Amino acid sequence: MTAEQAPTRTIGIIGGTGPQGRGLATRWAVAGVPVTLGSRDAARAAEVAAEVGHGVRGASNEVAAASEVVVVTVPWDAHEVTLRALAPALRGRIVVDSVNPLGFDERGPFALPVLEGSAAQQAEALLPESTVVAAFHHVSAVTLADLEVTDLDLDVLVLGDDRDAVDVVVGLAGLMPGVRGLYGGRLRNAHQVEALTANLIAINRRYKAHAGLRITDV
Ligand SMILES: NC(=O)c1ccc[n+]([C@@H]2O[C@H](COP(=O)([O-])OP(=O)(O)OC[C@H]3O[C@@H](n4cnc5c(N)ncnc54)[C@H](OP(=O)(O)O)[C@@H]3O)[C@@H](O)[C@H]2O)c1
């Protein structure tokens, strides 16, 4: 979908002051989408939004949660407590979970077990009145933020049980140059997509890269 075809929706990013939130905000703002970076500290969000530029604004996570599409980019260990607190504010929203439950030790990155199956399924359990979609697990925050990279050259797997919400997020992925959003299965398949990030980080470390995925023959 091109920027012209995509409906303009407002995007809020919970935990948007970190590298992943900044990178996603940069690309969507450049594509003309109104983006609000959320933070536990609205003043910090405003500072980071000013650094990101392109019309991005900063606010509390609660205010960001009032956007039409809300992307979650907090660390895994903050996922449950953050979503539990924001559940009322996220009612009726499309919530896009991009959190990877990973651990790191002297042997590198590894996937953590999650009681609910995946971060996305934990979000679904915590947010019964929101529509949860999982996406953007494999995009590199570094290349997102670097506007000199004019072709991000990757597919974004979009998982979810609500076809309309999946299509919205596929469209948002397609606003980034060189990115194609692809339906990647139902939310119960999110675990292996989140876990695969550990493999990609290992690849990045070995080959000094920002590796992304391409799905062939689609
Ligand atoms: N970095 C990447 O390349 C990348 C790629 C794909 C997916 N992801 C996923 O995206 C998520 C964010 O990654 P990141 O590197 O941007 O993370 P990060 O910088 O560690 O955290 C992002 C933001 O989360 C908020 N936060 C931190 N601790 C918190 C807590 N205890 N409670 C509530 N909020 C907290 C902070 O914002 P405030 O202090 O302003 O509230 C912080 O700026 C991770 O789950 C990661 O798996 C990252």
Q: Which helix (H) or strand (E) holds 60?
A: strand 57-60
Give the pTM.
Answer: 0.96
Residue 155: band (very low, low, confident or very high) from pLDDT cuts 50, 70, 90: very high
Distances (CA, A) of 75 to 53, 79, 80, 100, 186: 24, 6, 10, 8, 23
108-121 b/e (C-beta count within 10 Å ≥ 16 → b): ebebeebeebbbbb
Other CB atoms within a 10 A radius of the CB of residue 146 amount to 14
Paired residues of 51 in beta bridges: none
Using a 6 Å cutoff on CB, does residue 58 contact ligand 1? no
CA of 5 to the centre of ligand 1 (A): 31
Using a 6 Å cutoff on CB, does residue 85 contact ligand 1? no
Using a 6 Å cutoff on CB, does residue 60 contact ligand 1? no
Q: Which residues contact 192 (CB under 8 A, 6 or more apart)?
A: none
pLDDT in tens, 21-68: 999 999 999 999 999 999 999 999 999 999 999 999 999 999 999 999
Residue 9: band (very low, low, confident or very high) from pLDDT cuts 50, 70, 90: confident
pLDDT in tens, 161-208: 999 999 999 999 999 999 999 999 999 999 999 999 999 999 999 999
Q: Is-contact 173 158, C-beta < 8 A?
A: yes
**Within a 13 Å sphere around the CA of 32, how many CA atoms are in the beta-carbon half?**
9
Estimate the crossing angle of helix 119-126 against helix 79-86, to 10 degrees. 30
Single-letter residue type at 141: A
- Which residue puts its alpha carbon closest to atom 43 of ligand 1? 18
CA of 80 to the centre of ligand 1 (A): 13
Q: What sign for the dihedral angle of Cα 142, 82, 29, 69?
A: positive
Q: Is-contact 27 6, C-beta < 8 A?
A: no
Q: Is-contact 51 45, C-beta < 8 A?
A: no
Using a 6 Å cutoff on CB, does residue 134 contact ligand 1? no
CA of 15 to the centre of ligand 1 (A): 6
Using a 6 Å cutoff on CB, does residue 143 contact ligand 1? no
Using a 6 Å cutoff on CB, does residue 212 contact ligand 1? no
- Which residue puts its alpha carbon closest to atom 6 of ligand 1? 137
Fold topology of 11-207: Rossmann fold (3.40.50)
Report the phi/psi class of residue 178: left, alpha or beta, with left for phi > 0 and alpha for psi in -120 to 50. Answer: left
| Domain residue spans of the chain | 11-207
Probe ligand 1: pick from 37, 52, 74, 194, max atoms within 8 Å of CB? 74
Q: Is-contact 187 124, C-beta < 8 A?
A: yes
Using a 6 Å cutoff on CB, does residue 41 contact ligand 1? yes
